[in-house]
Structure 1
Amino acid sequence: MKVFGFAGYSNSGKTTLIERLIPRFVAQGLRVSLVKHAHHGFDLDRPGKDSYRHREAGATEVFLVSNQRWVLMHELRDEEEPSLEHQLSLMAPCDLVLVEGFKYTAIPKIEVHRPANGKALLYPDNPNIIAIAADALLQVPLPVLDLNDSETIAAFILEQVGLA
């Protein structure tokens, strides 16, 4: 599986960009998966549902299965957060895994940046950032891609991972 990431501050447009890229990759016949890192606790479950009650009772894993999808919820309890490498080992084979977050994990990534948000660029301190997708012109030593040009960004990613 080829792996390519996206880094950037909240509200920079990472999710929107990825949402626009996935259909482009799929249209080229690629099987695409995604790993999203959440910085805070999250829950896909709801109080009162059977699966929620089972987790609350102490189950380490709850596997929900239907005729349309399945999800495996794993409670870390007192375990450390698993690495991206561990998470990738659990995934079904595909052509391309897009990774949102995991800013400092050693995978090639595009920094998504909006100067209007007033945040500093990540790339000077992150050697894994190989390009910046921005909604303004930037004077940096990396390739700068137009954040609104998903076609060019998709082609850049496919070239970088050897799927072009």
Structure 2
Amino acid sequence: MSDGVAGGSPLTEGRWAGWVRWSDPTPDTFLQAIGTGYMRCEAPGRAQVALETRFSHRNRLDTLHGGFLAAFADHAYFGGLWIMGHTAQVKGVTIDLSMQYLGSGRVGPDLIAQVELLRETGRLMFMRMLLTQEGESIAASTATVRKVSVAQ
């Protein structure tokens, strides 16, 4: 794909049927530490981004590491934009990201980010999300993304 993202059509089989797989096609980037995401558009301006948690995402307390959750949130904002149809903005830049930790995440259950595009201006996209596991809130986040210029 021209946006540098490996993705495509929704999967038709398995537990992620109906979701689109998204991963970084460039080897040895930080995204490999996060893992492969799965996205689906819920409605205009709303998407879900999912991730299978693994042992490398934990801290010494055997809960999901707060830094990992922030990194996944950043990843999920761009995955959400991509599946919502803002494919050029995958190359945008996060200029502000805040996290509010609401509970302890666990290794094992899938992590689900409910991503919402609140407002878009000529240069910025204002977003928020809720991170959950098995329906329980783990963290909330807001972010501002600086858009890339799109050649006309």
Q: TM-score, normalised by structure 2?
A: 0.23
Higher relative contact order (CA 8 A, sep 6+): 1
More strand by share: 2
Structure number, greater radius of gyration: 1
- How high is the TM-score relative to the length of structure 1? 0.22
